[in-house]
Structure 1
Amino acid sequence: MANILDVSTDDNLQYQFFPVSSGSVQFKIRAPNDAHIALTMAPQESEPMYEVFIGGWGNTKSVIRRNRTKPEKVEIDTPNILNAGEFRGFWVRWDGGVISAGREGEAIPFISWCDPQPFPVGFVGVCTGWGATGTWKIEVLPPPSAPSAAALYSPPPGYPGIAPVSGGAGIWVDATSGQVPPGAVVGGQDCSGEPIYVARARHEGALIPGKLASSHGCAYVPWGGKENGKNEYQVLVGGPNSWMPTSGSNIPPGAFPGGESEDGEPLFIGRVSHEGSLTTGKVQQSHGVCYISFGGQELGFPDYEILVA
């Protein structure tokens, strides 16, 4: 069961911290402006530290900040996002270095940033200030549950490729047209800051790991030198999110299998940083590279990160 915390915050920018065990927190906040959320390793303001400011600057903007220093990592206009007279619902996620926040009931975040040097978050803090007090109802979500996600998105009986992955650390869930199932594994972010989810799709007899950016309305898989859009795809749900740097054909123990080539060779899930994005794709050991879909092309990189269970 989720844990509901009722919290009141004064106009003093003093964070109140509580521990978290999953990669997200959901809350309702009633405040005129400046709902601040801190993500830390310890129950106090200490570096490293992420901060998400919702409705700052007189309820006109929202930002993400790291280690209490400017410039902001990302800044979005969000006029009147908060309200002093009613509760507004939001969620904040931290997953694989991607920090994002969105409105209750919306899967797509309104603000997102990918930290190239992520740290494990153990505590969440909340505060208000700059003329605002706040009343919070905070729901600390349990870790994503693969069985519940499977129940929401039950695949047709006997559909090939739908099975618990070895080790039971995640399942692949059918989706279409940009749909993101609950508990989907975030692998990176697009150039625009939108989260990229770990996805795969069938193409030319292969089952190929690739990327899903929801706003594009499809997943993309790299094959044949091209970026191939797929309206029907599968998304990794409730799985691991540990990425290990490697290079060439060095596949570390515990690498997470994501599919297979048309010749039956196992394909693994990799990611690389490229032109402002952190993009997921396929690792083919015999080729010694991680391939990603980007700008209509299939691009290969000898240095990459690989998903391990």
Structure 2
Amino acid sequence: MANILDVSTEDNLQYQFFPLSNGSVTFQVKAANDAHIALTQGPQESDPMYEIFIGGWSNAKSVIRKNRTKPDVVEIETPGILSGSEFRGFWVRWDSGIISAGREGEAIPFISWTDPEPFPVAFVGVCTGWGATGTWKIEAAPSAPVAYATPAGYPGAASAGGALVWADAAGGQVPPGAVVGGQDCSGEPLYVARAPHEGAIIPGKLVGSHGCAYIPWGGAEHGKSEYQVLVGGPNNWVPTSGSSIPPGAFPAGESEDGEPLFIGRVSHEGSMTTGKVQQSHGVCYISFAGQELGFPEYEVLTA
């Protein structure tokens, strides 16, 4: 069950910040105007930063702003969207650089914007101002399991703390908060994924537009319509080479022989592609253009 955070905000435009465990937040707010939501990397106002102003300009307009800089990136008319006498429900989501907000019970956002230079969001802040105070009921997701909590049917793996978890997905679905590991030659984001194959659990890449994840095994690239995607943070990549696995790396799977497999990535032919690191082989394997390719110099995902 989700927890409900009861929050009061003064007429001072000072954000109160809360950590996030996924790519969305749902809330109800009672405010006459100017319910502001911030999406940030840390628990403070600092760039990079998204802000969504609901019911600004005397409850007449809503906008999205980046890095506290005008002009706003998008602005729409939303007369009477807030109320000072009753709660109004909303949701805010961010996924692959798409920032959107919608009303409770409506799947289509009333405002959205795609950031060409997205950043990972780890905190949400709320505030009111311009003559308004606010009473909020923020739906907080349950505490995330420790890093790489092992779902049913997958082998055990060491954990390293934090809020990284694996989410089941299929058919190109990208769960909210998915970790972006790189990008395809076309510029499409590639997400950290894993899937079972021939008795192994193998880290690879999710290409949403292809409707599947790809994993490297046996010299070939294998597409998987059902897979798991890494969600949460952090997103730290440490350069290394050969069989040197840096501190903080954590097993994300295992070979068919039971050897731990780590998450790696390499730059190849205009792409940054995620794959598996097998320490005994001294390389990072990626799947690319139908093949499994090995690279002795690579980066490893660490806590």
Residue 245 of structure 2 is aligned to residue 246 of structure 1: no
Identity, in percent, stands at 42
Whole-angstrom distance in 1 between the partners of 2:53 and 2:210: 26
Residue 254 of structure 2 is aligned to residue 260 of structure 1: yes
Question: RMSD value over aligned CA atoms?
Answer: 5.1
- CA 1:258/1:16 → structure 2, altered by over 3 Å: closer, same or farther? same
- Report what 1:16 is aligned to: 14
Whole-angstrom distance in 1 between the partners of 2:93 and 2:212: 24
- CA 1:222/1:145 → structure 2, altered by over 3 Å: closer, same or farther? same
Q: Could you tell me which runs of 5 or more consecutive residues in structure 1 were left unpaired when the two chains were aligned.
A: none
Aligned residue pairs total 278
Q: Could you tell me which runs of 5 or more consecutive residues in structure 2 were left unpaired when the two chains were aligned.
A: 83-87
* Cα shift readout 1:258-305 (whole Å, capped 9, x = no counterpart): 223345443101245678876432223344443344565555555543
Whole-angstrom distance in 2 between the partners of 1:48 and 1:282: 33
Contact 2:93 2:101 in 1 (8 A): no
Describe how 1:1-309 pairs up with structure 2 within 5 A.
1-5=3-7, 7=9, 15-23=13-21, 25-27=25-27, 37-39=38-40, 41=42, 43=44, 45=45, 47-53=46-52, 62=64, 65-66=66-67, 68=68, 84-85=80-81, 87=88, 89-92=90-93, 101-103=99-101, 111=114, 124-126=125-127, 137=136, 139=138, 141-142=140-141, 144-146=143-145, 155=152, 159=153, 161-163=154-156, 165-167=157-159, 172=166, 174-179=168-173, 185-188=178-181, 190=183, 196-214=190-208, 216-223=210-217, 226-236=220-230, 241=234, 243-249=236-242, 250-262=244-256, 264-272=258-266, 279-293=273-287, 298=292, 300=294, 302-309=296-303
Contact 1:39 1:125 in 2 (8 A): no
Deviation at 1:257, TM superposition (A): 0.8
Whole-angstrom distance in 2 between the partners of 1:141 and 1:197: 25
* Cα shift readout 1:69-108 (whole Å, capped 9, x = no counterpart): 6899xx6x7977x5643656233559xxx765345687x9
Deviation at 1:4, TM superposition (A): 3.5
TM-score by length of 2: 0.62
Whole-angstrom distance in 2 between the partners of 1:61 and 1:301: 46
- CA 1:93/1:139 → structure 2, altered by over 3 Å: closer, same or farther? farther
Contact 2:206 2:214 in 1 (8 A): yes
Contact 1:3 1:139 in 2 (8 A): yes
* Cα shift readout 1:87-145 (whole Å, capped 9, x = no counterpart): 56233559xxx765345687x996456668x7x9666255689xx98978462635643
- CA 1:18/1:301 → structure 2, altered by over 3 Å: closer, same or farther? farther
Whole-angstrom distance in 2 between the partners of 1:195 and 1:28: 32
Amino acid at match of 1:248: S
Amino acid at match of 1:186: V
- CA 1:141/1:197 → structure 2, altered by over 3 Å: closer, same or farther? farther
Contact 1:162 1:172 in 2 (8 A): no
Whole-angstrom distance in 2 between the partners of 1:111 and 1:283: 33
**Secondary structure, aligned partner of 2:172:** coil
Larger radius of gyration between Structure 1 and Structure 2: 2
Whole-angstrom distance in 1 between the partners of 2:49 and 2:291: 34
Whole-angstrom distance in 1 between the partners of 2:127 and 2:187: 24
- CA 1:243/1:233 → structure 2, altered by over 3 Å: closer, same or farther? same
